[in-house]
Amino acid sequence: MGEHCRSNDLVVNPCKEKQQSNMRSSNADASICLTPYRKMSLEQAIEYVEEDEFVEVTPKSLRLRKKILDHSKRKRGEKVED
């Protein structure tokens, strides 16, 4: 999804819509501007990944992803390792 300024990972779901309340207007959230992603070479992607991540290589793209995609399973795996 993006880079975090700290060493820990944030769990985000880009498909979930933000809940609207009475205090917030729907137009205020509609104008979110996202910064473009950083294009990486294969070497840069390999340097960037952590131990719990993969680099998926296809002819048209490089993708960085977690080895275990489900957050709750990742948390259980971290507890077992400790």
- Average pLDDT (57-77) is 87
- Average pLDDT (72-78) is 81
Scored b (16 or more CB within 10 A) or e, 50-81 reads eeeeeeeeeeeeeeeeeeeeeeeebeeeeeee
**pLDDT of the residue at 29:** 54
Domain regions of the chain by residue span: 40-81
Residue 81 pLDDT more than 60?
yes
14-55, pLDDT tens digit by residue? 777 766 666 655 555 566 677 788 888 999 999 989 888 899
